[in-house]
């Protein structure tokens, strides 16, 4: 059962009533029927005291699963309210990568308490994981995986899984390592189930294993999931020793996170936080939006200078001014279309640097088609609506021609600028996503004005 | 081993040399070392004749896995070259949902050949799957899953998986159905492995099963994966009978597809094809870009009308014209930032319709911060650079004030418009993604010009 917001509110109401009547066992049975992700959503409806009270009602395993889904403030409140014994119970049930994620968001005092309540081996693993760079594959892996030896039989493998599997985040992909813990092969529980009990792992394991290094960018890891449809991906250290795995659910989270980051970058936002919108403060939102707004505002100085340079001509034929917004917006939109298409295609690996001429040639043709169509409609519209219907002064056939010709040329230029800048950015190892609409618009604006005034000078002799 | 483009080219070269020397068994051993997704990428380097030749060298199972990864043109060429016996061999190895995906892209003659070469039961399943609406959960599910009965023991379950599992896309999540095939529970191979051989499935199966209906939007299914970290999600029909499952790899593909669609929509592109950039023709690209460009161009008529109305005033103080592009771009960028942030937050379910006042209040405060900062910098810049450094004529303290005040007010308005329109769109059951930068820009342009001219009239008395 997937709970919609409405149902969640109903359940919250029901629990509130039960709470007033102190019917805790009823609350407990309601909560145990709900998926941990939904319990976390439900908790938003309650006060901190209630959250702590209800959390204590959860069975051990469900408590840990719910804890991972809660937001950082609630997690902090619950840990603060917990005795060391209670804290240990939750920590015991958590997967290591989740513990590390939580530690990264908690204040120092809480971190100390968490570390004090884990055994020394776990503490060592946590410390290792905390050292990986923020965007690295190491930072999203878990060191809890099933490892087998090549001379294990299928029966050995199942015994090992039955004995140790309960604590592993996934058991379905099993990794085969040699004596120095180097990764030499991989197999799956499906393969194990389809082989005889006394078959040796090495007789059927896959040896062309795809893996990432702990220091690889996590984006590379996620692209491999996307390409090869893995459930888990092994992570090795500099000496090729298997140190962890990334599971598909974490890969999916990173994928969503990277998509959000790209979308924000494409719209002149510096992403400073991974928190959901309503949890980010006004000042932090302000900080994430100001830099690009400021830069783009200052760079619009150039368009201002172009207009100032043509001021005398504009004052002769002031009607030309009223088409500046339309020309600028259409140029910006045309360039923006090309740039986001290319940025997305680059990030999905549909195109690479070598395709630049194919891309430009295609965009030129698309630009010609779009330019001609828009110019034709615009030409007719100016004549029929602006001149004949509205009787706007100063519109002549030549003026109409200047505006429509500007459209054709600026759209072709906009498409070329829009498709080349992201590719250049990638070549220069910048993130192509910043070369998107806002940035393209600023450049295309200046280009459009130059084309406009040049055509006006040539055709209208002003 | 993950193959980079460089390595792929090296391997392609090597295979070409072997091909000239007719060393087919060497080619075969190279290909069997490579992951099917990489073989498909490698095939791009070869002619159609070579593709068909090399494809025939692949072992049965690898051939099927590679076939799924090939692009439609290559698939078509290979099927056309195949004898019925060869075709049947590949089809036998394909998962049903992949067969359906391929059928949807093939011309009628090929589809007929495919259907002729499948057994009647498979043909019936294919026909059922083909009937689901394009964006429905049914269209991305596979009917091949492991189903158990509640009075099965763990041992029964393993026997069943060993017997039928080889043809299932995933065996790790097992579904428990009653006599009328209604879904009553779910368990996993991990659970099975951790229980005793004679335990009954019903004693430990999870009964609060989360599922989707065949006719639900596939986006809903994908959101459930994102929220609950599933490996597979059951799909039921109108009578609650289990008819298929969606696997996490397909969910990930849909997620990427939806993200691409959102990014395109946010930039005034109508997505007409799911093909990669270079495979989409010029005319189709043109068709996907024209509608919004045209609509936005025509709606810029309003900004033109506003300027025409204030033409007389502009001609008195032509310097005001040169700041129009900067004011328009900054307004557009500010509104665009707010709108994409909200669109993304809506699509990640971080906010819903009920949060509208919280959102507006936050955006107003962010708008005030951004507006004041930009106005301060702009005020100083106009005075120091435009007036003192460049000596631009006509700039007075009052003109500078009008421009900077316009910035503050337009940015606040832009943030409000940018955050409310996507939420309204959602309320009216439109896709919020179309209420993004290009659309917001057009509205904010008109607003900004009105504020600008109104302030100019009031302060400069023109």
B140-159 pLDDT per residue, tens:
998 889 999 999 999 999 99
SS (H, E, C) B228-260: HCCCEEEEECCCCEEEEEEEHHHHHHHHHHHHH
Whether the CB-CB separation of B297 and A377 falls below 8 Å is answered with yes
User: A162 — contact with chain B (CB < 8 Å)?
Assistant: yes
What DSSP element (H or E) covers A421? helix A397-427
What pLDDT, in 10s, does the model give residues A206-233?
Answer: 988 899 999 999 999 998 998 888 999 9
Alpha helices in A131-247 (DSSP H): 154-164, 189-194, 201-204, 218-228
- Distance, CA of B446 to CA of B437 (rounded, Å): 14
Residue of B46, B56, B48 lying closest to B24 (CA atoms): B56
Which neighbouring-strand residues pair with A241? A182
Which element (helix H / strand E) includes A278? none
Is residue B176 within a helix (H) or strand (E), and if so which, with residue range?
Answer: strand B173-177
pLDDT greater than 90 at residue B334: yes
Measured between beta carbons, the chain A residues lying within 8 angstroms of B260 are 344, 348
Determine the pLDDT at residue B5.
Answer: 63
Backbone angles phi, psi at B343, to 5 degrees: -60, -45
Chain A residues inside the 8 Å CB shell of B386: 301, 304
Between A324-347 and A437-460, two packed helices, what is the crossing angle to 10 degrees? 140
The single residue listed with the structure tokens 């800048």 is A421
How many other C-beta atoms can be found within 10 angstroms of the C-beta atom of residue B151? Answer: 10
Residues in B touching A333 (Cβ below 8 Å): 267-268, 292-293, 296, 438, 441
CB B359 within 8 A of CB B368: no
Chain A: nearest CA to B20, how far in angstroms?
Answer: 27
Q: Looking at residues B40-67, what average pLDDT do you find?
A: 89
Which of B226, B286, B350 is opposite residue A276, by nearest beta carbon?
B350
Instruction: Report in angstroms the alpha-carbon separations of A443 from A232, A325, B29, B263.
Output: 44, 15, 52, 21
Determine whether the interchain pair A255/B255 forms a contact, defined as Cβ–Cβ distance below 8 Å. yes
Where residue B429 falls (left for φ over 0; alpha for ψ -120 to 50; beta otherwise) is left
Rounded to an integer, what distance in angstroms lies between the CA atom of residue A454 and that of residue A342? 30
Helix axes A324-347, B324-347, angle to 10 degrees: 40
Q: Are A269 and B337 a contacting pair at CB < 8 A?
A: yes
Q: How many angstroms separate the CA atoms of B431 and B336, rounded? A: 16
Instruction: Give the distance from residue B302's alpha carbon to the nearest chain A alpha carbon, in angstroms.
Output: 9
CB contact under 8 A, B374 and A337: no
Joined together, the tokens standing for residue B251 give 């969910």
Question: According to the model, what pLDDT value does residue B319 have?
Answer: 86
Name the nearest CA neighbour of B195 among B186, B184, B208, B204: B204
A:38-67 residues touching chain B, CB 8 A cutoff: none
How many whole angstroms separate alpha carbon B399 and alpha carbon B382?
10
Q: Are B151 and B203 in contact (CB under 8 A)?
A: no
Residue B301 and residue A48: Cα distance in Å, rounded? 54
Nearest-angstrom CA–CA distance, A187 and A185 = 7
Place of tokens 């040539």: A458
pLDDT in tens, A289-324: 998 889 888 888 888 889 888 888 888 888 888 899
Residues 6+ apart with CB under 8 A from A285: B341, B362, B366
Nearest-neighbour CA in chain A from B90: distance (Å): 20
Tell me the three state secondary structure of residue A237. coil
Average pLDDT over residues B126-136: 86
CB < 8 Å to A390, chain B: 305
pLDDT at B405: 96
Q: At what angle do helices A324-347 and B282-299 cross, to 10 degrees?
A: 140
Q: Is B173 touching A (CB cutoff 8 A)?
A: no
Mean pLDDT of B337-358: 90
First and final C-alpha spacing in chain B: 72
pLDDT at residue A388, as a whole number = 87
B452 neighbors B327 (Cβ within 8 angstroms): yes
- Taking chain A, what is the end-to-end CA distance rounded to the nearest angstrom? 72
Q: Provide the shortest C-alpha distance from residue A336 to chain B (in Å).
A: 7
Cα B274 to Cα A117: distance, rounded to the nearest angstrom: 51
* CA distances for B319 relative to A309, B209, B315, angstroms: 11, 68, 9
- C-alpha span between B266 and A267 (Å, rounded): 10
CA distance B407 to B24: 70
| Yes or no, beta carbons of B289 and A366 under 8 Å apart | yes
CA distances from B14 to B9, B10, B30, B45, B50 (A): 9, 6, 9, 12, 14
Cβ(A213)–Cβ(A236) under 8 Å? Answer: yes
Structure tokens at B216: 């639900």
**The two structure tokens encoding residue B193:** 């492995």
Span B362-376, pLDDT tens digits:
999 999 999 999 999
Rounded Cα distance between A414 and A449, Å, is: 12
A183 three-class SS = strand
Q: How far is A154 from B158, CA to CA, in rounded Å?
A: 14
Extended beta strands in A301-366, E state: none
pLDDT digits (tens, 9 = 90+) for A188-202: 999 998 899 999 999
Q: Is B334 on the interface with A (CB under 8 A)?
A: yes
Helix (H) or strand (E) holding A352: none
pLDDT band at A154 (very low <50, low <70, confident <90, very high): very high
Q: What confidence category does residue A394 fall into, taking pLDDT thresholds of 50, 70 and 90?
A: confident
Bridge partner list, B142 = B245
Tell whether the model's pLDDT for residue B322 goes beyond 90: no
- A161: which chain B residues are within 8 Å (Cβ-Cβ)? 193
Indicate yes or no: CB of B231 within 8 angstroms of CB of A252.
Answer: no
What share of chain B in percent tops pLDDT 90? Answer: 41
Chain A interface disruption, residue of B140, B183, B304, most A CBs within 10 A: B304
CB contact under 8 A, A355 and B385: no
What angle is formed at CA A250 by the lines to CA B224 and CA A342, rounded to 5 degrees? Answer: 85
Q: Report pLDDT digits (tens) over B244-263.
A: 999 999 999 999 999 999 89
Considering the entire predicted model, what is its pTM? 0.83
pLDDT of residue A1: 43
Distance CA A323, CA A51 (A): 59
Contact A437 B172 (CB under 8 A): no
Structure-token pair, residue A215: 């220091």
ipTM of the complex: 0.83
Cα B180 from chain centre: 36
Best B229, B230, B307, B351 member to test A by mutation, with max A CBs in 10 Å, is B229
In B, residues 291-320, which contact A (CB 8 Å cutoff)?
A: 292-294, 296-298, 300-301, 303-305, 307-308, 311, 314-315, 318-319
Please judge whether A208 and B33 are an interchain contact, meaning their C-beta atoms are less than 8 angstroms apart.
yes
Residue of chain B whose alpha carbon sits nearest to that of A262: B263
The total of other beta-carbon atoms located within 10 Å of residue A106's CB is 16
Report the distance separating Cα B108 and Cα A326, nearest Å: 46
Please give the mean pLDDT across all residues of chain A. Answer: 89
Residue of A nearest to B299 (CA): A326
Spatial neighbors of A457 by CB under 8 A, at least 6 apart, are A313
Distance, in Å, from the CA atom of B79 to the CA atom of B102, rounded to the nearest integer, reads 11
- 3-state percent helix, strand, coil for chain A, nearest multiple of 5: 70, 10, 25
CB contact under 8 A, A263 and B267: no
The answer to whether residues B93 and B60 touch, using CB atoms and an 8 Å cutoff, is: yes
pLDDT digits (tens, 9 = 90+) for A260-274: 999 998 888 888 788
CA–CA separation, A246 and A228 (whole Å)? 14
A327-384 pLDDT, tens digit each: 998 999 999 999 999 999 998 888 888 899 999 999 999 999 999 999 999 999 999 9
Instruction: Say which residues have a Cβ less than 8 Å from residue B327's Cβ, sequence separation at least 6.
Output: B403, B406, B407, B410, B448, B449, B452
SS3 category, A282: helix
Contact state of B325 with A300 under an 8 Å Cβ cutoff: yes
CA distance A33 to chain B (A): 7
Q: How many CA atoms lie within 13 A of A310 on its CB side?
A: 25
CA B390 and chain centroid, separation: 48
Question: Is some CB atom of chain A closer than 8 A to the CB atom of B35?
Answer: yes
Residues of chain B in contact with residue A290, where contact means CB-CB under 8 angstroms, are 369-370, 373-374
SS3 B118: coil
Q: Examine the pLDDT at B53 and tell me if it is beyond 80.
A: yes
């Amino acid at each position: 059962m997937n709970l919609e917001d409405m149902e969640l509110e109903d359940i919250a109401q029901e629990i509130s009533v039960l709470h007033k009547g102190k019917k805790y066992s009823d609350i407990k049975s309601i909560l145990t029927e709900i998926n941990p992700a939904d319990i976390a959503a439900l908790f938003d409806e309650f006060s901190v005291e209630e959250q702590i009270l209800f959390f204590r009602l959860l069975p051990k395993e469900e408590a840990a699963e719910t804890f991972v889904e809660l937001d950082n403030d609630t997690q902090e409140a619950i840990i603060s309210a917990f005795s060391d014994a209670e804290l240990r119970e939750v920590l015991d049930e958590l997967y290591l990568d989740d513990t590390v994620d939580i530690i990264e968001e908690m204040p120092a005092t809480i971190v100390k308490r968490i570390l004090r309540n884990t055994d020394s081996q776990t503490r060592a693993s946590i410390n290792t994981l905390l050292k990986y760079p923020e965007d690295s594959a190491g930072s999203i892996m878990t060191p809890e995986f099933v490892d087998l030896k090549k001379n294990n039989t299928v029966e050995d493998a199942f015994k090992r899984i039955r004995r140790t599997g309960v604590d592993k985040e996934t058991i379905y992909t099993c990794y085969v390592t040699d004596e120095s813990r180097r990764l030499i092969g991989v197999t799956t529980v499906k393969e194990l189930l389809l082989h005889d009990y006394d078959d040796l792992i090495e007789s059927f394991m896959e040896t062309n294993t795809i893996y990432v290094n702990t220091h690889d960018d996590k984006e590379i890891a996620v692209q491999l999931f996307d390409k090869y449809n893995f459930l888990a991906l092994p992570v090795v250290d500099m000496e090729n020793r298997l140190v962890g795995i990334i599971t598909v659910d974490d890969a999916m989270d990173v994928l969503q996170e990277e998509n959000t980051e790209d979308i924000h970058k494409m719209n002149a936002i510096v992403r400073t936080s991974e928190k959901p919108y309503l949890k980010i403060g006004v000042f932090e939102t302000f900080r994430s939006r100001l830099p690009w707004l400021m830069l783009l505002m200052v760079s619009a100085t150039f368009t201002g200078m172009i207009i100032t340079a043509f001021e005398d001509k504009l004052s002769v034929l002031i009607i030309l001014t009223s088409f500046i917004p339309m020309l600028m917006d259409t140029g910006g939109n045309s360039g923006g279309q090309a740039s986001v298409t290319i940025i997305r295609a680059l990030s999905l690996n549909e195109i690479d640097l070598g395709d630049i001429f194919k891309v430009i040639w295609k965009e030129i043709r698309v630009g010609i088609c779009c330019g001609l169509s828009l110019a034709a409609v615009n030409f007719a519209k100016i004549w029929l609506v602006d001149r004949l219907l509205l009787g706007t002064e100063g519109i002549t056939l030549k003026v109409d021609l200047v505006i429509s010709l500007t459209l054709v040329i600026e759209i072709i230029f906009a498409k070329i600028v829009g498709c080349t800048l992201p590719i250049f950015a990638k070549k220069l190892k910048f993130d192509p996503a910043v070369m998107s609409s806002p940035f393209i618009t600023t450049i295309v604006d200046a280009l459009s004005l130059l084309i406009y005034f040049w055509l006006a000078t040539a055709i209208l002799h002003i």
